[in-house]
Amino acid sequence: MRVEETVLIGRPPEAVFDYVCNPANLRFWQTSKTAVEQLTPGSPGLGTRVRERTKPVRGKEFEQIVEFAEFERPHRLRLHIVEGPYPIDGIWTFERDGDGTRLQFVAEGPLRGLLWLFSPLAKLTIRRQFATYHRRLRDNLESVN
């Protein structure tokens, strides 16, 4: 499965990158997260690991551990699922666009179990969820003075 999207955010790439990479912000834009804990001490960077608990709109809460597998501030971030039921990795790229940022996102990985059986519906649901996350991300960042 592969999902791609682009969103324009009226903030510079450094501000967008730093907000996305801060585990303390995750629950404010990925609203399905019920708990987030940074497992690696220090500032986020290459190799940082985060434990996330997620409650999908319809479904059972699950836990996963993600790792910052690529960390090129303020240009590129790749999160790799180290442990969890849905091995769908995410890549964000941050490009300057005037005074703002063109954020491009790609989620890619295999669908398993019931998600595989209902893959067209699952892909649509996942696409909508990421679109909601990125709209909220934009709204949160653009409301900051």
Q: Is 105 exposed, middle or buried (0-12, 13-18, 19+ CB in 10 A)?
A: buried
Q: Global pTM?
A: 0.91
**Domain edges within the chain:** 2-30+70-142
pLDDT digits (tens, 9 = 90+) for 25-48: 999 999 999 999 999 999 999 999
Which CATH architecture does the domain made up of 2-30+70-142 adopt? Answer: 2-Layer Sandwich (3.30)
**Residue 59: which pLDDT band, with cuts at 50, 70 and 90?**
confident
Q: Is the dihedral of CA 117, 121, 126, 129 positive or negative?
A: negative
> Is residue 3 a contact partner of residue 123, using CB atoms and an 8 Å limit?
yes
